[in-house]
């Protein structure tokens, strides 16, 4: 099951989560220290909707930004 928008091609993006430890300097501590970095994925908000394509009703996965922008017309 692909996580790609059928209209704009938006797909998963890579990122990181940073784990920090310690008390911030402005709160009286010695500063925050990074204790670990983990990879993560940002997934697009895809919705399965019915649309008319080439005279036939089909179900496609479309991101919500395309639906809001009016690039797709629901059935």
Q: What is the pLDDT of residues 22-53, one digit of tens each?
A: 999 999 999 999 999 999 999 999 999 999 98
φ, ψ (nearest 5 deg) of residue 58: -135, 155
- Would residue 37 count as lying in a domain? yes
Q: What is the pTM of this model?
A: 0.76
Q: How far apart are CA 9 and CA 53, in angstroms?
A: 17
Decide if 59 is inside a domain.
Answer: yes
Position 53 in a domain: yes
Where does the pLDDT of residue 61 fall: very low under 50, low under 70, confident under 90, or very high at 90 and above?
A: very high
**What residues make up the domain containing 46?**
13-69
Count CA atoms closer than 13 A to 36's CA, side-chain side: 4
Number of domains in the chain: 1
Cβ proximity of 49 and 62 under 8 Å:
yes
Residue 18 lies in a domain: yes
Residue 25 lies in a domain: yes
Give me the chain's average pLDDT, please.
95
């Amino acid at each position: 099951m692909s996580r790609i928008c059928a209209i704009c091609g938006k797909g998963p993006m890579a990122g990181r989560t940073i784990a920090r430890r310690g008390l911030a300097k402005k709160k009286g501590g010695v500063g925050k220290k990074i204790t670990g970095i983990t990879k993560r994925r940002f997934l697009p908000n895809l919705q399965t909707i019915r649309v008319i394509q080439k005279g036939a009703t089909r179900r496609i996965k479309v991101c919500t930004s395309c639906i809001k922008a009016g690039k797709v017309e629901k059935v």
